[in-house]
């Protein structure tokens, strides 16, 4: 019996001796991250806001970590293709996602057969937000949000509101305005943002609730006018433009597009912590702040817990808006 006990003890000791170096090796590997290039998947085409933000951060991450961060565009299916790639990737910190609300919040209410769920992704940090704004063609006889609401109510079903597609930020923001203000505006979905801007400037549609940056040239040529911004506070770049909430007496109105960095579910905590801390530091730098200001972006940041709470609130809010708009899943 004593020999058996000694034999068991010897075997257990040997197993522990083998396991400890293996565990230390795994811990050291995580501690040394990144030891090779890191890929940031952008689920949209090059040149857009998501791509631009990702490339600004990729360069800053490369400088911070001394390892290359590479942006790879995988557009398609309203961001689902790229998000699915990350959801199915190994959770080792070497495949990340720069995403907007689609992957985490809205797409699983808009598509019947999703190949992944938000639970397959771990949000790491919210990066920045971009305000949508109430923008109308120059001939619309309204110069304030309240005047527009009054005019739209007096002409039910006569105004056309454009967006870059069903379920897009512009579409859902328009539906939010319609719901909160009690408006009957016909939604006209386009295939992308560019034709939307062209037809608004030409007066073929009368209104959008969409990102500000894409309309800067139209503001300058006078073909459109911005009546209110979708943030809860006025913007530094447009201090004389009120919020839609205050000018339209629509308490709680908020229409923004936000961007967040995520990884596959199960991304090691120490890697997420490194990325979160680095992102917060990067977004506080003057050179990055200037680049974001040029994009009319508002830095966000905060802890990973802050990001999770923010997305939970966004999910609740947009789920209700999608249901109220009667948007049928594709």
Write the pLDDT tens digit of every residue in 155-168.
Answer: 999 999 999 888 88
Higher-confidence residue: 54 or 113?
54
pLDDT of residue 6: 42
**1-23 confidence digits (pLDDT tens):** 444 444 444 444 444 444 444 44
pLDDT of residue 152: 98
For the segment 44-69, the average pLDDT, to the nearest whole number, is 94
pLDDT of residue 31: 59
What's the pLDDT band for 102 if we cut at 50, 70, 90?
A: confident
What are the backbone angles phi and psi of residue 60, rounded to the nearest 5°? -65, -40
User: How far is residue 119's CA from residue 108's CA, in Å, rounded to a whole number?
Assistant: 11
User: How far is residue 301's CA from residue 312's CA, in Å, rounded to a whole number?
Assistant: 16
CB 84 within 8 A of CB 306: no
- DSSP 8-class letter at 213: G
Choose among 128, 120, 49: nearest CA to 83. Answer: 120
User: How far is residue 239's CA from residue 3's CA, in Å, rounded to a whole number?
Assistant: 84
Q: Quick one: what percent of the chain has pLDDT higher than 70?
A: 91
Does position 134 have pLDDT exceeding 80, yes or no?
yes
Choose among 304, 102, 130: nearest CA to 210. Answer: 130
For the segment 114-122, the average pLDDT, to the nearest whole number, is 94
- In three-state form (DSSP H/G/I as H, E/B as E, the rest C), the secondary structure along 8-38 is HHHHHHHHHHHHHHHHHHHHHHHHCCCCCCE
For the segment 83-100, the average pLDDT, to the nearest whole number, is 97
Does position 206 have pLDDT exceeding 50, yes or no?
yes
Residues sharing a CB contact under 8 Å with residue 82, sequence separation 6 or more, in sequence order:
41, 42, 43, 44, 73, 74, 75, 76, 97
Does position 24 have pLDDT exceeding 80, yes or no?
no
Q: Quick one: what percent of the chain has pLDDT higher than 90?
A: 74
| pLDDT, the chain, mean | 89
User: How far is residue 101's CA from residue 168's CA, in Å, rounded to a whole number?
Assistant: 10
Distances (CA, A) of 213 to 222, 225, 244: 15, 13, 17
pLDDT of residue 3: 43
Distances (CA, A) of 153 to 25, 74, 253: 67, 42, 18
Choose among 162, 163, 155, 210: nearest CA to 183. Answer: 155
Choose among 200, 228, 204: nearest CA to 215. Answer: 200
What's the pLDDT band for 240 if we cut at 50, 70, 90?
A: very high
């Amino acid at each position: 019996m004593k020999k058996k006990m000694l034999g068991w003890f010897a075997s257990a000791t040997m197993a522990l001796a083998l396991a400890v170096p293996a565990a230390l090796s795994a811990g050291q590997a995580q501690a040394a991250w990144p030891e090779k290039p890191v890929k940031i998947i952008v689920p949209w085409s090059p040149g857009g806001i998501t791509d631009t933000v990702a490339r600004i951060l990729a360069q800053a991450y490369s400088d911070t970590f001394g390892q290359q961060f590479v942006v790879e565009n995988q557009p398609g299916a309203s961001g689902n293709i790229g998000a699915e790639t990350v959801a199915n990737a190994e959770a080792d910190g070497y495949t990340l996602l720069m995403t907007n609300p689609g992957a985490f919040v809205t797409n699983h209410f808009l598509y019947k057969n999703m190949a992944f769920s938000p639970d397959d992704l771990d949000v790491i940090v919210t990066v920045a937000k971009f305000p949508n704004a109430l923008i109308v063609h120059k001939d619309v006889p309204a110069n304030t949000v309240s005047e527009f609401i009054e005019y739209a109510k007096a002409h039910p079903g006569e105004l056309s509101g454009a967006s870059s597609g069903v379920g897009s930020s512009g579409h859902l923001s328009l539906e939010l305005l319609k719901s909160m203000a009690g408006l009957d505006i016909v939604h006209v979905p386009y295939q992308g943002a560019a034709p939307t801007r062209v037809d608004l400037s030409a007066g073929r549609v009368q209104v959008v609730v969409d990102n500000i940056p894409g309309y800067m040239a139209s503001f300058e040529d006078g073909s459109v006018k911005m009546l209110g911004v979708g943030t809860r506070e006025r913007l530094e770049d447009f201090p004389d433009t009120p919020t839609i909430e205050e000018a339209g007496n629509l308490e709680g109105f908020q229409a923004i597009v936000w961007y967040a960095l995520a990884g596959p579910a199960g991304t090691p905590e120490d890697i997420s912590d490194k990325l979160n801390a680095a992102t917060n530091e990067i977004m506080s730098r003057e050179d990055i702040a200037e680049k974001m200001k040029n994009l009319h972006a508002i830095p966000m940041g905060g802890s990973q817990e802050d990001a999770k709470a923010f997305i939970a609130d966004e999910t609740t809010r947009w789920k209700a808006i999608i249901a109220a708009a009667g948007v049928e899943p594709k």
